[in-house]
Amino acid sequence: MENSKFHSSIKAVIFDCDGVLLDSEEIGGRIEVNALKKLGISIEEEEYNGRFSGVTTAQALQTVTKESGVSISDAMIDEIENEITVALEKEVKVIPNIPETLRAIHLPKAVASNSHLPRLLKLLNSRHLDQYFDDCIFSADMVSKPKPHPDLYQFAAKKMGVLPFECLVIEDSPTGAQAAHKAGMKVLGFIGTAQSQKISDKRFFEAGVDIVFNDMLQLPELIQLENHCY
């Protein structure tokens, strides 16, 4: 019997949040780098953001401090997370053309983000984006392992009632793309922010991305293209 995967169209589109819906990566990176400086660890924002794009704040901070032989407490990480949330509420902007694009995609849509759920919900609500996802907003808080593990994307597909290979994921980082690819989903790489444009196409393709694009207005057509590839 032939594998039905190759005859299935896309039934759901899953979006990462930071760098895909909201231009937020550099805001968080700036605050994290400043916090590390207070611990005596000097690292350039560009290097930090390039290395840790798509991973959780805790993952990034714990990795850098461990490498530097410096300890960082959970309480300190929580303080940094709170500072990031406050800054994002004031500064973050919606990725250009996102509302128009979401309205043009007539498929079930979800968000799957490594961000903490309260922050994710607050930001999507304040920027009037939550209305496009029918309560299908999923956070790494809901699974045991965050991206680059596939758990969050597998969880999202299960909650939406679709199979992983029926999902198309939009990611702005190789870390997130790797998670979606491991979950058995098709992945597009979005490079429409200053941060994501610094990542080479090669890294995206190595992570399992099918196509790299830089304007959200292209997405509805790309979805049609992906469907025709089956």
- The CATH number given to whatever domain includes residue 71 is 1.10.150
How far apart, in whole angstroms, are the C-alpha atoms of residue 95 and residue 88? 14
Residue 86 sits in the same domain as residue 98 = no
Element (H, E) at 190: strand 186-190
- Locate 163 and state its tokens: 């199979």
How far apart, in whole angstroms, are the C-alpha atoms of residue 69 and residue 218? 45
Residue 189 sits in the same domain as residue 98 = yes
Residue 74 sits in the same domain as residue 156 = no
Residue 94 confidence (pLDDT): 98
- Look up tokens 């990725």; give the residue: 95
Residue 84 sits in the same domain as residue 169 = no
Residue 195 sits in the same domain as residue 86 = no
The total of structural domains in the chain comes to 2
Neighbour-count burial of 200, counting CB atoms closer than 10 A to its CB (0-12 exposed, 13-18 middle, 19+ buried): exposed
Residue 11 sits in the same domain as residue 124 = yes
Given 72, 91, 110, which residue is the final one in a domain?
Answer: 91
Residue 43 sits in the same domain as residue 61 = yes
Residues of the chain with pLDDT under 50: 1-7, 230
Residue 194 confidence (pLDDT): 87
Residue 1 confidence (pLDDT): 31
Residue 130 sits in the same domain as residue 211 = yes
Residue 3 confidence (pLDDT): 37
Q: Which domain holds residue 217?
A: 4-23+93-228
Establish whether the linkage from the previous residue to 148 is cis, with ω within 30° of 0. Answer: yes
Among 25, 41, 11, which residue's Cα sits nearest to residue 106? 11
Q: How many CB atoms lie within 10 A of CB 118?
A: 12
Residue 69 sits in the same domain as residue 98 = no
DSSP letter (8 states) at residue 169: E
